[in-house]
């Protein structure tokens, strides 16, 4: 991999969105937009996103990784993260990828809320396909899980010498300020099927009871990835999510649809 084949840059109307473009090793015939998850999942997934981007670029796929407003290296504070803005940023990023990659056919990939955002943006962004890794389909359940982890965090004896006050942990999810607007948006979130074929990569623990029928139409499918990914384990909150099987599944799919 030549270092110059990966270009960091800012884009968007106010130049506030951070992107990392992975130029393909061969002339690109297709492109992939990698939509990150939100919150701590974004940090935990950084390495696996980069590994996947490099693997795809090596097989001739133009790839763009990027951060939404208020996340990662993009402009804005964490409390400013807004669902509609994330979807709009995704549409912008898809256009940027088409320009830089010189290809019109863009497949979207996203883990957890990144998959949900890719599905929500699929129509506007004209995605040829969405590959969603354990996407969040029902925001109410997701909000409840984060709230429960935040409650547990307050008295996590592995982290704090003594339990913290309720005020200390209020209006945050696992290290990030959360605005009322985003909380309401996620609580009301219900992701449905899109026109684009959808491949769901399922690595949720069996106990989660995840069901994907709602978003996987006749043109899509579900593939199981083992082992299960510990998304909601407070003890692994700061451990990177790594998954060679995920990389194999996505690169394999991109070869199929070449």
Binding other proteins (rule: CB under 8 A), the pick from 3, 27, 209, 227 is: 3
Residue 40 contacts other proteins per CB under 8 A: yes
Q: Residue 108 region, left (φ>0) first, then alpha (ψ -120 to 50), else beta?
A: beta
Residue 60 contacts other proteins per CB under 8 A: no
Each residue 170-189 as x (binds other proteins by CB under 8 A) or -, in order, gives: --x-xxxx------------
Q: What is the closest distance, in whole angstroms, from the C-beta atom of residue 122 to other proteins in the complex?
A: 27
Of 77 and 257, CB closest to other proteins: 77
Q: What is the closest distance, in whole angstroms, from the C-beta atom of residue 225 to other proteins in the complex?
A: 21
Instruction: Please tell me the count of residues contacting other proteins according to CB under 8 A.
Output: 43
> Distance between CA atoms of 68 and 18, rounded to whole angstroms?
8
Binding other proteins (rule: CB under 8 A), the pick from 147, 151, 159, 219 is: 159
Of 6 and 138, CB closest to other proteins: 6
Residue 99 contacts other proteins per CB under 8 A: no
Q: Using CB under 8 A, list all residues that contact other proteins.
A: 1, 3-4, 6-10, 15-16, 18, 20, 40, 43, 46-47, 50, 71-73, 75, 77-78, 153, 158-162, 164, 168-169, 172, 174-177, 233, 235-236, 238-240
């Amino acid at each position: 991999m030549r270092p110059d084949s990966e270009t960091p840059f800012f884009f968007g109307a106010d130049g506030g969105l951070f992107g990392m473009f992975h130029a393909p090793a061969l002339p690109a015939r297709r492109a992939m937009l990698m939509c990150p998850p939100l919150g701590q999942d974004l940090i935990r997934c950084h390495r696996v996103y980069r590994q996947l981007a490099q693997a795809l670029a090596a097989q001739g796929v133009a790839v763009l990784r990027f951060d939404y407003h208020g996340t990662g290296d993009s402009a804005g504070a964490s409390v400013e993260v807004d669902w509609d803005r994330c979807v709009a940023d995704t549409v912008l990023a898809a256009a940027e990828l088409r320009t830089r990659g010189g290809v019109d056919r863009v497949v979207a990939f996203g883990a957890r809320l990144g998959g949900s955002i890719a599905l929500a943006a699929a129509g506007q962004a004209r995605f040829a396909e969405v590959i969603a890794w354990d996407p969040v389909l029902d925001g109410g359940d997701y909000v409840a899980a984060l709230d429960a982890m935040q409650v547990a965090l307050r008295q996590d004896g592995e982290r704090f010498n003594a339990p913290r006050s309720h005020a200390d942990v209020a209006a945050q999810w696992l290290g990030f300020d959360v605005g009322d607007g985003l909380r309401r948006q996620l609580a009301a979130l219900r992701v449905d099927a899109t026109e684009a074929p959808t491949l769901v990569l399922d690595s949720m623990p069996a106990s989660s009871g995840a069901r994907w029928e709602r978003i996987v139409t006749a043109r899509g499918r579900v593939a199981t990835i083992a082992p299960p990914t510990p998304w909601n384990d407070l003890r692994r909150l700061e451990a990177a999510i790594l998954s060679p099987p995920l990389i194999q599944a996505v690169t394999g799919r991109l070869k199929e649809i070449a």
